[in-house]
């Protein structure tokens, strides 16, 4: 009887994790944590920049609108 036919994939995964050095597991967790934090930081920064650009565009649009209204009021008087 073949050993591979009696154990499932989860047994193989547990065996390989058990064979790995604890240092490698710790390094992998550290690198994945750093990567996730960088991705999260990038996403937060992108959303922040998007909001700031939107607010700046809104301010510019309001200035143009107020300027046009001011010129229209000057011409009317």
What is the reported pLDDT for 1?
46
Look up the pTM and report it.
Answer: 0.48
Distance CA 16, CA 29 (A): 16
Query: pLDDT, tens digit, for every residue of 23-66?
Result: 666 777 888 888 999 999 999 999 999 999 999 999 998 998 88
Tell me which of 23 and 2 has the higher pLDDT: 23
DSSP 41-65: HHHHHHHHHHHHHHHHHHHHHHHHH
The full set of domain ranges for the chain reads 3-76
Distance CA 26, CA 20 (A): 10
């Amino acid at each position: 009887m073949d050993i591979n036919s009696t154990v499932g994939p989860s047994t193989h995964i547990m065996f390989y994790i058990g064979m790995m050095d604890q240092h490698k597991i710790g390094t992998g967790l550290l690198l994945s944590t750093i990567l996730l934090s960088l991705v999260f930081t990038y996403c937060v920064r992108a959303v922040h920049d998007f909001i700031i650009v939107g607010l700046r565009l809104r301010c510019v649009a309001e200035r143009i609108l107020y300027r046009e209204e001011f010129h229209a009021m000057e011409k009317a008087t």
